[in-house]
Structure 1
């Protein structure tokens, strides 16, 4: 038996076990070789290392199955033994595994959390108010599955000039109020932020929108974001800072008219609002000395994002 035939024996063993655990010692035994000689001859005759060959064959079969069957990406990854994450763990540099199952299935949440860092919870997201309004429902469904290293993804931000790769470059259809709503929801929910725009054409207003440091802090230094309430006309979200003694309160007007929104201390777990300062992080205005109810007026499709902190000047005497 020549070297080609012996290596072919090992390849036959590998091909028969692509969906199972492959033991390289067994593969070497099929070729009647020591491990070191097996590795050397396999590369010499195939042009691939043994591990490269196994990885490429599994990827090829996984891709074929994805096209042929309506199977969850995570299920296919597990079937072909990609669940260990060795390639990511041993690559020697930080990596993020982002999935686009489009949209992710809530009953598969534990799969995504175990094997990925981020996963898209929507189909392609474009600059359409109905799509943005629907994202509140999606975020409500996924709000309990956001944690360090695990981020449900609301998709890219269609800001500035969009559509160049689709045949028609144009300015986003979102109004400024809708863009503020989108950024506020993405940040308090802690969705990954990716800008889907021509960066060289960003205007001053849009650039300031996506670089507001106090707003962006929510992505890395907030936790426990919860939707307090939502109906067809409004939504309210609340979270806490992980380092400072502050909270974040987001009020959204989902209606087509200017609307007043009100929230009581009890809805946030507070005894009263008198000792707190509400700093609006977009317009940088502050509200002090709130009596029983916080009331704000919000433009159609707009939002207010408050950092809520104790008023050091407050004296209840």
Structure 2
């Protein structure tokens, strides 16, 4: 090397070091990914999920139609997560000449050479990428559902785990099987290659542009909860992490659950009083466990048209339980009937208006994530009004899970204060089947005598000048209280 070249090299080095640059790669704080993850979901996530309306049978045309309506009608109110639920990888057997499924869960699933799930050629012939890209074009976030574990199809083929010398059979726990979906085996997180499998799956999701993961059958398995959290934190893409379902939640595993952003604490909630009662029970149990970045999830909002891929078969009146239908199938009374995912058959939500008011008021006061479940292109005006109501959203996004302050004679009062304010919201719930005329004192609302408030009845849209209310069966009074200066 001559002197001239040395001088040029020296000049280049001087410029680099003069600018404070270094050839050494920056060391990243090992805790940084987890800290970045916790910056997500600072208020309860809001979005749409396909399960209530399409079960595990959402198809490309319906997905795109719902996405466009989402952007038009929900996005302006702060909703942003568009989530495709289970079944997107299933090569379903179909009823002749239709898009309707002929099996509850697909016998055949689409996987690649590494055992990673791929979009169904049956329901998503163009793959998911056009939907994901359109979602992002519209300024929305894309979400997808995954089942715990590794596909049995991967175990059968003993597919390699990407980037390792291990294979599916090295990590699968064949004794760990979901009660309602037998497509996967669990993953034994103590086995070499287990974390790497979850890493490879989540890295694929990151490459696709996934922003939200709803992970099913995971809550009873804290080690796998943590394995998925680790995978998300190493993938390089921010993702909201939602745990589901939640009818069997071990409270002692709360530290593992808090690696996620949402924790389902109810079974599947449908359009009936049983579902409402289950939400109230879960609210009692989990009040106070929420915090920015971690929300107690009471499941989806079953408003609008439901179960579009499950038309009512001949010989079924629509009110039978699944056990009743199963008995009729077994006896031969019914034929060519498949008990599909979800509950019941194609219908408009069976909630009464009072139940709908109660449902959405409960969601507002409990700070549960707001994930709309009904079909958006056919959504009725009343349902849309409730899920986009300004006071509902203000209360919900306040991010404080209300507490029970009164419980007497099937009447409950729940109170949610505003952050760092004396203002807030109150729900008076008639949990009985009869009309109630009720009179309360200031102390019943935890107000002190010298406090003055302007109180607004949200659903009646009027100011309240006394504490006397008449409430319909399973109905609610939703109040907003504020000092006169701040109202």
What TM-score does the superposition give when structure 1 sets the normalisation length? Answer: 0.71
1:304 and 2:481 are equivalent in the alignment: no
- Give the conservation status (yes or no) of the 8 Å contact 2:225–2:256: no
Alpha-carbon offset, residue 48 of structure 1 = 3.0
Alpha-carbon offset, residue 109 of structure 1 = 5.1
CA distance in 2, matches of 1:160, 1:109: 35
Q: How does 1:128-139 map to 2 (within 5 A)?
A: 128-139=272-283
What's 2:223 paired with?
78
Alpha-carbon offset, residue 197 of structure 1 = 0.8
Q: For residues 139-187 of structure 1, what are the alpha-carbon distances to aligned partners after superposition, in whole Å with 9 as ceiling and x for unaligned?
A: 1011121221222211111111112233332111100110010001111
SS at match of 2:374: coil
CA distance in 1, matches of 2:423, 2:174: 47
SS at match of 2:481: strand
SS at match of 2:283: helix
1:262 to 435, 439, 464: 439
Bigger relative CO (Cα 8 Å, ≥ 6 apart) = 2
Q: For residues 95-153 of structure 1, what are the alpha-carbon distances to aligned partners after superposition, in whole Å with 9 as ceiling and x for unaligned?
A: 12111143142524514542221122121111111321232122101112122122221
SS at match of 2:370: coil
- Give the conservation status (yes or no) of the 8 Å contact 1:66–1:73: no
- Unmatched segments (≥5 aa) in structure 2: 1-159, 179-184, 189-216, 312-344
1:124 and 2:268 are equivalent in the alignment: yes
- Give the conservation status (yes or no) of the 8 Å contact 2:430–2:474: yes
Cα distance change on mapping 1:155 and 1:231 into 2, 3 Å: farther
1:223 to 400, 414, 419: 400
- Give the conservation status (yes or no) of the 8 Å contact 2:241–2:260: yes
What's 1:162 paired with?
306
Cα distance change on mapping 1:80 and 1:127 into 2, 3 Å: closer
Cα distance change on mapping 1:104 and 1:313 into 2, 3 Å: closer
SS at match of 2:355: helix
What TM-score does the superposition give when structure 2 sets the normalisation length? Answer: 0.48
SS at match of 1:165: coil
- Give the conservation status (yes or no) of the 8 Å contact 1:221–1:243: no
- Give the conservation status (yes or no) of the 8 Å contact 1:62–1:76: no
Comparing both structures, which one devotes a greater share of its residues to helix? 1
Cα distance change on mapping 1:104 and 1:278 into 2, 3 Å: farther
Q: How does 1:46-61 map to 2 (within 5 A)?
A: 48-50=162-164, 57=168, 61=172
What's 1:276 paired with?
453
1:150 and 2:261 are equivalent in the alignment: no
- Give the conservation status (yes or no) of the 8 Å contact 2:418–2:424: yes
What's 1:7 paired with?
none
Cα distance change on mapping 1:222 and 1:191 into 2, 3 Å: closer
Q: How does 1:83-232 map to 2 (within 5 A)?
A: 85-108=229-252, 110-167=254-311, 168-223=345-400, 225-231=402-408
- Give the conservation status (yes or no) of the 8 Å contact 1:104–1:119: no
CA distance in 2, matches of 1:131, 1:138: 11
CA distance in 2, matches of 1:86, 1:61: 18
CA distance in 2, matches of 1:282, 1:250: 11
Q: For residues 210-242 of structure 1, what are the alpha-carbon distances to aligned partners after superposition, in whole Å with 9 as ceiling and x for unaligned?
A: 100221112221425101123562211001112
Alpha-carbon offset, residue 58 of structure 1 = 9.5
CA distance in 1, matches of 2:171, 2:306: 34
SS at match of 1:78: helix
SS at match of 2:433: coil
CA distance in 2, matches of 1:235, 1:59: 53
Q: For residues 258-289 of structure 1, what are the alpha-carbon distances to aligned partners after superposition, in whole Å with 9 as ceiling and x for unaligned?
A: 2123333223332237721111222321113x
